[in-house]
Structure 1
C-alpha cells in the first residue's frame, strides 16, 4: 500500500511566544544570516517551503512597546527575494495582508518573486481585524469579519485576473519576416466592483507557476469556506488525532461544491517539537523550554492581557489575582490575538481559578498550562512515528515546524527525524520538480 507523503515546512518565528530568547544559541531575527541559516537547513532536509509570518505594527502593552518580543520585522518581499538567490528548490511563502494592500501591487510583487525564484512563491492570504494595526495605513480602521473575508476573496480573485492577464499565446507573434509583435491583449485587465475599480495593463509576464501557491489560515466557518474555495494549503491549529481528523474531514468535505478534489488542498498544522536521546530526556528538556518560554515577566504580561489591568506588582509565583478582569470596552494590549481569543474575560478568570486550585498552580504555572505545549516531544524515533501516524490517519497532510530557537533550532530535526521519515517511505529523499506546486503535488 502506498504511503501518504508528508509535507513539511519551516516557520521563521519572528514575533511569537515560542521563541526562547534567553537560549545561548538564540540569534538575531533581523540579520539576513539568520534567515539564510534556517532556509538552507530546511532545503537540505528537502522541506516543501520556508514560511514568514507578518508583523505590521510593533506590539504594545500599557501604552509602551512590548519589550519581551523582538523589536522589528523586515519586509517580507525583501527577505524572500534575497532568499531566492541563496536557495534552489525550497518554496518561499510570505504572509501579505488583504485588508490594507491593493491587488495590483501585491500581484506584481508575487509574480516578480515567482520569476526570481523560478516558481517557488507562495502567498499566505490574511485579513486584519483591528483598528490598531489599521492606523499604519491610509485606509485605517478595520472591517467586520464577514466583510474582511468578502474583501479578501475579491482581492484574491482580482489578483488572479492580473496573474492570468498574460497567456502564452498572447506574448508574441512572428510576422514571418523575423519581426516579433506583442499581442495587444497581453497584460490587459479590467475589474470593477465595490471593492476595486481598476483597469490597465499588468507589467509582469506569466510566471513559472502561473499563480503563486495560495495559503490560508482562518479557522472560523468563513475562513474554512474561503480556503475550500480558493486555497492550495491551509494552516490548522489542530495537532491531535481526533481534533485533526475532524478539521481535516470538515475542510476537505467542502471542496466538492467548488469542483475541487481533496488532493487540491493541503492541510498543515503548525507544530513545535523538543527532541532528546530518550523520551524521558525529551520531556525533561520540554519542561525547561516551557519555563524559558514563559518567564516570570512574560506570565505577568499575559495575565494583564486577560485581566485588562496593570498587574506589574503581582507575584508570578503566587496565586491568581483575587480581583476580576476589567471589562469596560477598552484594552490594555491593542492588536494582541490573546485579547480576541478570550472574548469573555470573566468566564476565563473563573476557569483559570478552578484549574489553579485543582492543580495547586501558581500564576506562572497556570499561564504555562493554558498557553500551549510542545506538539511533539520524544526521541527522534518517537517523533517520527507520531508525525507519520497523524498524516497516515488523515489528521493532517504534514506540519509547519516552529523551532523554539532561531536560527539553528531546525538542525536537530533535519539531521535526526527526517532520515527516519525517509526510511518509512513517507518523505522524499530528493525534490522531484523545480516548483513549489511540484513539491505540494498541486496542478
Structure 2
C-alpha cells in the first residue's frame, strides 16, 4: 500500500533581522512602516500559509564600531507589530521571537495570552536564548550567560510561563458573547513558582486563551537546543533545507521525542528557505547570481569571514585571497564583542576547508562567502520549485518550509500566485484553512479542547 502524501506546511518570515534582504533594490519597501507588514501578512494569508514569523532584534548589529552595510536598521517591537496584524488578518498565525534571557515569565505570558485572545487563537512564541554581551548591555542584568545556564534558564522560563497559562483551568470560566467572561472559581489565576532562576507567586490576570497555550517554537541547532525542542516545543526551526542534511536533522530530532513520551507528529520540523523564482530555470539561475552579489558586499564578506577567524580582518581586500593566518581560539575578541556571530564548532577545520575551496576555484574572499554562504535554497520556475519542495517534504527532510524572500514587502507575491496553486493541484497543500486557530493549521492538539470548543463556538 503506498505511503499517504504528507501535507506541506508553509510559513513566511518577514526578513528584517538578517542580511537576506536586498534593501537597495528599487522594488524594496520600508521595514518599519505598517503598510509593509500588512502587505506581507495579507499575501501569506491569501496563500493559506500557516503563519507569519517575526524575528527579534534587540540591538543594532555592529562589528568594529560600524553597522552592517546590509542589515536593516530599525525594527518596531515584535508584539506591537503582531497585535496590529491581528486586526488585518483573520486566519494567519502570528509568531514572534521573544528572548528568554532578557525577559521575565509573567510579562511574556501576559503578552502572548493577550495576543492569543486578540487574534482568536493565532499566537506562537519562538523561544530563544542569548549569549551576546552586546545585547546584554541594553538590559539591567547585562553581560551574558554560559550556554548550559542559558538553556537551564530557558527551560525554567518556559515551564514557568506554562504554569501561568495553566493557572486558569478550562472549567473556571465560561464565554458568553453577550455578557462577557465570568469567573467561577476564586482560585483562578493563582500561581506559585520557586526555582533556580525564578521565585514568583501571585495571580495571573489573563484568562485562558483560545489555544490554551500559544504554539511553542524553538530554533537551537546545538544538542541542548534539539533536546529542548524534543521535550517542550511544538515546532523547531531548522537551517538544513537540503535533502541529506535535512533528513539527518529530521531523524535526529524526531527520534528524541519518545524519551519524553511524545509521538513523532507532535513536533514539526520547519527549515528556513530562501528562493528565487522566474519563468524558466535558466532565468532563475541568472537572477539568483545577481541577488547574491547584492546580498554579499565586500564589507559583508569580511564580516562573515571574521565569524570564523575571530579577529579583525578589515585590512584584507574582499576581492583578494583568504588570510594565511589561523583563526584565534576561544570566545573573545570578535566572538565576545559587538558582533552578530555564527558559532563554528571547529573554526580551524572550517578555515582549512575554505582555503582549499578558494584555491581550487580561484575564489576571492567575497566569492567564497557568496558560494558557501546562505545561498538560495529553491531556484527555478514555479514547476521546479513546487516539485522540489514536495519532494523534500515527502522524503522527510522537513515537514514544510519557512520562506524568506529577498524583497520586502512584495517578495512573497509571485510565490503565492504561481507556486502555491501547483502544490494545491498535487493535493499536498490546503485550499482553505481547516479551523480558527494556529494549532488547527499545524495539526497540533489543543491543551484544553473543551475550553477551546466553548470559546470558539
What is the rounded CA distance, in whole Å, between the counterparts of 1:132 and 1:104 in structure 2?
25
**Aligned residue number for residue 373 of structure 2:** 371
Q: State how 1:69-218 maps to structure 2 within 5 Å.
A: 69-171=71-173, 182-218=184-220
Measured against aligned partners, the alpha-carbon deviations of 1:377-433 in whole angstroms (never above 9, x if no partner) come to 111001101100111111110000000111110001000000000000000001010
Moved more, 291-300 or 115-124: 291-300
What is the rounded CA distance, in whole Å, between the counterparts of 1:368 and 1:304 in structure 2?
15
**Aligned residue number for residue 359 of structure 1:** 361
Contact between 1:170 and 1:182, CA under 8 Å: does it hold in 2?
yes
In the TM superposition, what is the alpha-carbon distance from 1:288 to its structure 2 partner? 1.0
Contact between 1:129 and 1:144, CA under 8 Å: does it hold in 2?
yes
In the TM superposition, what is the alpha-carbon distance from 1:226 to its structure 2 partner? 0.8
What is the rounded CA distance, in whole Å, between the counterparts of 2:287 and 2:81 in structure 1?
32
Q: State how 1:316-395 maps to structure 2 within 5 Å.
A: 316-325=318-327, 330-332=332-334, 334=337, 336-341=339-344, 344-395=346-397
Note if 1:300 corresponds to 2:317: no
In the TM superposition, what is the alpha-carbon distance from 1:315 to its structure 2 partner? 2.7
Contact between 2:61 and 2:340, CA under 8 Å: does it hold in 1?
no
What is the rounded CA distance, in whole Å, between the counterparts of 2:429 and 2:356 in structure 1?
44
Measured against aligned partners, the alpha-carbon deviations of 1:273-301 in whole angstroms (never above 9, x if no partner) come to 11111111111111111111112232233
The 3 A distance-change label for structure 1 pair 250 and 348 is closer
Local SS of the residue matching 2:411: coil
What's the TM-score once normalised by structure 1's chain length? 0.94
- Unaligned runs of at least 5 residues, structure 2: 176-181, 446-457
Query: How many residues are treated as equivalent by the alignment?
Result: 437
The 3 A distance-change label for structure 1 pair 299 and 262 is same
Give me the CA root mean square deviation.
2.0
What is the rounded CA distance, in whole Å, between the counterparts of 1:74 and 1:164 in structure 2?
30
The 3 A distance-change label for structure 1 pair 305 and 172 is closer
In the TM superposition, what is the alpha-carbon distance from 1:313 to its structure 2 partner? 4.5
Note if 1:441 corresponds to 2:443: yes
What is the rounded CA distance, in whole Å, between the counterparts of 1:310 and 1:139 in structure 2?
28
What is the rounded CA distance, in whole Å, between the counterparts of 1:413 and 1:273 in structure 2?
9
What is the rounded CA distance, in whole Å, between the counterparts of 1:437 and 1:254 in structure 2?
22
Local SS of the residue matching 2:286: helix
The 3 A distance-change label for structure 1 pair 319 and 277 is same
In the TM superposition, what is the alpha-carbon distance from 1:349 to its structure 2 partner? 3.1
What is the rounded CA distance, in whole Å, between the counterparts of 2:70 and 2:255 in structure 1?
41
Local SS of the residue matching 1:417: helix
What's the TM-score once normalised by structure 2's chain length? 0.91
In the TM superposition, what is the alpha-carbon distance from 1:147 to its structure 2 partner? 1.6
- Unaligned runs of at least 5 residues, structure 1: 174-179
In the TM superposition, what is the alpha-carbon distance from 1:33 to its structure 2 partner? 0.9
What is the rounded CA distance, in whole Å, between the counterparts of 1:263 and 1:339 in structure 2?
30
The 3 A distance-change label for structure 1 pair 347 and 259 is closer
Contact between 1:118 and 1:208, CA under 8 Å: does it hold in 2?
yes
Local SS of the residue matching 1:191: strand
Local SS of the residue matching 1:410: helix
**Aligned residue number for residue 247 of structure 2:** 245
